[in-house]
Structure formats: structure tokens, C-alpha cells
């Protein structure tokens, strides 16, 4: 009987810095409103999923890209603080880290602008660098916030018994 040792949960996906402004009401086009508070935090569906996996106690590995900027450093450090292996998170020179600018009103309604930045540069070379990790993955998480070709390449590398979740 061949028993497969559980591997890591690997996430190939987006990583952003979220800049959130809270206000009583959302502005209309061309209008400025005063905010009540602000927050800067880790974001991106991929990074959020990888952090959740680590917080649940599983081995979590993230594959993706940040810019080679201060937001990239912040995002990498925060993801690592959650216990995520960031060895395959590449800092891309001459581009920016993914960014979400979020306005939230007192009722919780929001408006979000996302700038993909380095997330849009994730490609087959990222998959190739992480091939050994992907081959031993127990689960592969994909969100489709990075180029589809990279997600398809990662899905093609994993073992047939690996569970692939696209969300």
C-alpha cells in the first residue's frame, strides 16, 4: 500500500497592500469627504487564503510576486508573520506591488479600486521555480487574480491526487 504523506497547501495568487479609508458616507464623483480613520493591511485573495491556511496550523506556501518597493516589503513581512513560507514570493524590479484602495462607509458599503501591479506578471517561470513544491502539494489554491496561464501551468504540474481549489 502506497500512503502519500500529506504535503503543503500551496497558493499561487495575488498579494496586495490594502489602503482603507473609513468615512460616514462614500463620496460622489468629484467630491471629497473627510474620513474617520484609516488602515493599511495585507490583502489580495491569494495572500488572504495563504494566511488563513497558516493560521489554521497547516503548512502554507505562497507563490507570487510583489514589486520591489516598500509595500512589497510590508506585504512579504506580514505574510511571513502569519507563518506562510514566502521563499517563492518574488520581488519584481521596476514595478509596484498590488494595491487596493478601499473606501468604507458607516454601513459597511465599500468602493474598491485594485491596481494589479506585480500580480499581473506572475507566469510560468514562477511555476517552474516552485516545481518541486507543487509536485508534493496536497492542495493547490488558485484565485484567478493572476494571469490564467500561470494558474493553468501550476495545475498541470501537481500530482493527480492533489486537490485543486479555484475560488
> What's 138's domain CATH number?
3.40.1190.20
Please name the residue ranges forming H helices in the chain. 45-55, 70-81, 124-129, 131-135, 148-157
Report how many domains make up the chain: 1
* Average pLDDT of the residues in 79-102: 97
Collapsing DSSP to helix, strand or coil, 120 comes out as helix
Structure confidence at residue 146 (pLDDT): 97
Structure confidence at residue 160 (pLDDT): 85
- Contact between 72 and 16 under an 8 Å Cβ cutoff? The reply is no
pLDDT tens digits for range 114-151: 999 999 999 999 999 999 999 999 999 999 899 999 99
Collapsing DSSP to helix, strand or coil, 118 comes out as helix
In a domain, 91, yes or no: yes
In a domain, 56, yes or no: yes
d(Cα 112, Cα 130) in Å, to the nearest integer? 31
Structure confidence at residue 6 (pLDDT): 61
In a domain, 28, yes or no: no
In a domain, 27, yes or no: no
Contacts of 65 (CB under 8 A, 6+ apart): 15, 89, 90, 91, 92, 118, 119, 121, 122, 126
Q: Residue 5 above 60 pLDDT? A: no
| Residue-range definition of the domain harbouring residue 155 | 9-15+44-97+118-166
* Average pLDDT of the residues in 60-73: 98
Task: Kindly report the average pLDDT of the chain as a whole number.
Answer: 94
In a domain, 20, yes or no: no
**pTM > 0.85:** yes
Tell me which of 3-7, 20-24, 36-40, 54-58 is least confident. 3-7
d(Cα 72, Cα 78) in Å, to the nearest integer? 10
In a domain, 26, yes or no: no
Only one residue has cell 464623483, namely 29
d(Cα 76, Cα 79) in Å, to the nearest integer? 5
d(Cα 165, Cα 167) in Å, to the nearest integer? 6
Amino acid at each position: 500500500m502506497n500512503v502519500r504523506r500529506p504535503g503543503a497547501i500551496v497558493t499561487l495568487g495575488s498579494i496586495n497592500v490594502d489602503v482603507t479609508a473609513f468615512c460616514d458616507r462614500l463620496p460622489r464623483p468629484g467630491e471629497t469627504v473627510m474620513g474617520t480613520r484609516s488602515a493599511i493591511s495585507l490583502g489580495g485573495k491569494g495572500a488572504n487564503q495563504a494566511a488563513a491556511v497558516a493560521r489554521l496550523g497547516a503548512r502554507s506556501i505562497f507563490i507570487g510576486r510583489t514589486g520591489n518597493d516598500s509595500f512589497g516589503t510590508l506585504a512579504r513581512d506580514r505574510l511571513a508573520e502569519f507563518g506562510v513560507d514566502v521563499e517563492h514570493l518574488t520581488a519584481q524590479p521596476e514595478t509596484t506591488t498590488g494595491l487596493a484602495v478601499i473606501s468604507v462607509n458607516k454601513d459597511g458599503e465599500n468602493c474598491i479600486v485594485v491596481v494589479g501591479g506585480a500580480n499581473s506578471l506572475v507566469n510560468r517561470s514562477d511555476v517552474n521555480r516552485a516545481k518541486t513544491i507543487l509536485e508534493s502539494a496536497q492542495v493547490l489554491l488558485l484565485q484567478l487574480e493572476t494571469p490564467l496561464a500561470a494558474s493553468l501551468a501550476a495545475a498541470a504540474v501537481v500530482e493527480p491526487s492533489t486537490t485543486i481549489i479555484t475560488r
